[in-house]
Amino acid sequence: MIASIPSPSSGTLTIGPLTLNAYGALIALGVIVAVWVFGRRLEQRGIGTRDDASAIALWAVPAGVIGARLYHVVTDWDRFADNPGKIIEVWKGGLGIWGGIAVGVLVGVLVAKRRELPLAASLTCVAPAIAFAQAIGRWGNWFNQELFGRPTTLPWGLEVSASTAIDAGYEPGTLFHPTFLYESVGCALLGFALIALDKRKPMRDGVLFAYYVAGYTAMRFFVEGLRIDPAHDVAGLRLNQWVSLVVFTAAVIVIVAMRRPLDRIPEPAQ
């Protein structure tokens, strides 16, 4: 039985003579895995190559990081108002997934269009890749001892340093819900589920991306409800829970609107 999950004493990774910021290294690893999955799926469908995936990531990933940081800064401006210089300290954490996906996907679509890839099919290919990248990147929160949930007595409760517990308003030794782990496992399962769904259920190109959005936002709504880090509350829900509800609803509408089987799509008039 697991008594608890310890947190790393440092936010760095040491590999031989190299010392890397763990948060950034894990995001980079997630990107590498996502590009590999994306490229492989493009080639399996015969619509692109791994070079196409790398070229798209070259622009989409930095854009996504910028978008994610801007979302975090805008929605938590109180943390930066007195010291705007902290805005660039991305390595210390603070990336809003909503801004990252919105800006990253938009730039990725523009690059894919420039390379003459079918856009809807490309979104189908990239959907599970994004989920896997999130699954890996979430472990950066573990190294930073951030974004954990409320106290728990479950055997997999997360240990944090005494100073981190005190800063959160709790006694040293308090165990917390490891929300980074919940989201990491959830995203990994979502990625595999999307691949299985893509193989078993014929659907229009692009719909799988809507399934990714619906799956992630449903999971995020509940994980967000466990978190205790400062956030704007509206009518008893955290801001990101409201965003999850709105985006989930939009994704479901897309899925329902495009649910007609492929063989029933009418042929264009001659």
Is the pLDDT confidence value at 16 over 90?
no
Q: What is the mean pLDDT of residues 110-137?
A: 96
Tokens of 171: 């006694």
pTM of the model: 0.88
pLDDT of 267 reads: 46
In three-state secondary structure terms, 217 is helix
* Amino acid found at 171: E
Residues in the chain, total: 270
Tokens of 158: 């997360």
pLDDT of 264 reads: 46
Around Cβ 37, how many Cβ atoms within 10 Å?
Answer: 22
pLDDT of 219 reads: 97
pLDDT of 84 reads: 79
Average pLDDT, the chain: 89
* DSSP letter (8 states) at residue 143: H
Tell which wins on pLDDT, 148 or 13. 148
Around Cβ 58, how many Cβ atoms within 10 Å?
Answer: 12
